[in-house]
Structure 1
Amino acid sequence: MAAYDEIADWYEEEFLRAQPVNPGAEALRGLLGHGSGVCLELGCGTGVHADLVRELGWTPVGVDLSSGMLRHARARLPTAQADAARLPVRDRSVAAVVAVLVHTDMPAYFAVLREVARVLRPGGVFVHVGVHPCFCGGFADRGDPAAVVVRPGYLDGHWTKESWTDQGIRDKVGATHWPLPELLNGFLDAGLTLDRFAETGAPLPIVLAARAHAR
């Protein structure tokens, strides 16, 4: 994605260093669990989740559209520049797929979910870790650390650069929002079976995560 090419160095050198914790790591660890074989990360960015995936026993491989982000990622894991909605991967060939804090960057995310179902082995694991659709978006103001103000707009489902902060990602590259039922129905429509869910963050969750498997 060209927009991420423009901010790749800022993302790696400033944004990540300013984060006290990785908001998706806890959910990824809990839902992916220990395993073996290739774990394909969609929208791998600069590869910051590779060490966690290895720690759990998997072999991480990253896919991203942004050459700028991949320039940083290549030191952390094997990568390929590709569209997650058209993966250069054989049918039923990988043991696990993860997508961490990227679904709002992918306007064709429901096509991505269909690709996940295609490339996973039967019983293979998919872990989605995303910003929480109910409490994060252009409609949500998280400027007060003790509260979240949710304004009208949750049901709209649209792309926006509106954000409560100018220190984050959305105001720079934008984000697509889907209400919760539409997002979860996308898993079912792709042919994935949902297994478990998790939420992380306070005072209201920042992350909604789901574990699914291929039929």
Structure 2
Amino acid sequence: MAPSAAYDEIADWYETEFLPQQADTDPLGIRQALTTLLGPGTGGTCLEVGCGTGIHAAQIRMLGWHPAGVDLSAGMLRHARGRLPVARADAVRLPLRDARLDAVVAVMVHTDMPDYPAVLREAARVLRPGGAFVHIGVHPAFCGGFADRVDPAAVVIRPGYLDGRWTKQSWTTEGVRGKVGATHLPLPALLHAFLDAGLEFVRFAEGGAPVPIVLATRAVKRDSREGRSVRI
């Protein structure tokens, strides 16, 4: 029997209650970051790891890419199937051959993944040399169980940033983290994981105010034969 995923229990709530609260708005700059960092496509496939209900598929398609998605949660994929081609799969074992894709994206999911460094290595495996990996995630320096964001004008950083742990502690009861938990990586550990996977940083972006909530980056796969990246 296939394992259940944390999001299976909240998939309907996520689709019908949580997402409508954010409709037609971009307060964290997620859509802006995706547009800027992914950029226009030429008809190639862009794989979204942890695609959830597929809410980013339309934007990826508008940018000129063919979206496809993988997720571990059957409940979330039930909502995604009308939005993009999907497969149920673990992001650390993608059902793709080496060097098949021009782009892979991960949008607001890295804290859902217990071993994100392994996900980055797997993304690099399926990317062609010069292919782009776009990461958009909660800001590791300002978001997590250690960050009290009750005051919208400031963030209080409590002990725990350096722990690199999983927790359900959250500053709000209205969001996702209090329901499914989150895995935290300090900023150096997160950035080193990209480099260790053979991904070279190209651009960065932050989103949210007055203190950033989102950290995003575009990285490209280095050509191991030449020891350098080939940008597309």
TM-score, normalised with respect to structure 1: 0.98
Q: Deviations over 1:104-135 (max 9, x none)?
A: 00011111100111000111111000000001
> Is 1:5 aligned to 2:5, yes or no?
no
Structure 1 residue 2 displacement after superposition: 2.0
Mark the runs of 5 or more structure 2 residues left unpaired by the alignment: 223-232
Percent identity of paired positions between Structure 1 and Structure 2: 72
Structure 1 residue 3 displacement after superposition: 1.4
Q: Could you say which residue in structure 2 is the equivalent of 1:40?
A: 47
Q: Could you say which residue in structure 1 is the equivalent of 2:181?
A: 174
- Whichever of the two has the greater Rg, that structure is 2
Counterpart mapping for 1:62-141 below 5 A: 62-141=69-148
Could you say what secondary structure the match of 2:67 adopts?
strand
Mark the runs of 5 or more structure 1 residues left unpaired by the alignment: none
Structure 1 residue 183 displacement after superposition: 0.2
Structure 1 residue 151 displacement after superposition: 1.1
> Is 1:188 aligned to 2:191, yes or no?
no
Moved over 3 A (4+): none
Counterpart residue type for residue 175 of structure 1: A
- CA RMSD across the alignment: 0.9
TM-score, normalised with respect to structure 2: 0.91
Could you say what secondary structure the match of 1:155 adopts?
coil
Q: Deviations over 1:14-53 (max 9, x none)?
A: 0111126343211111100101200000000000000110
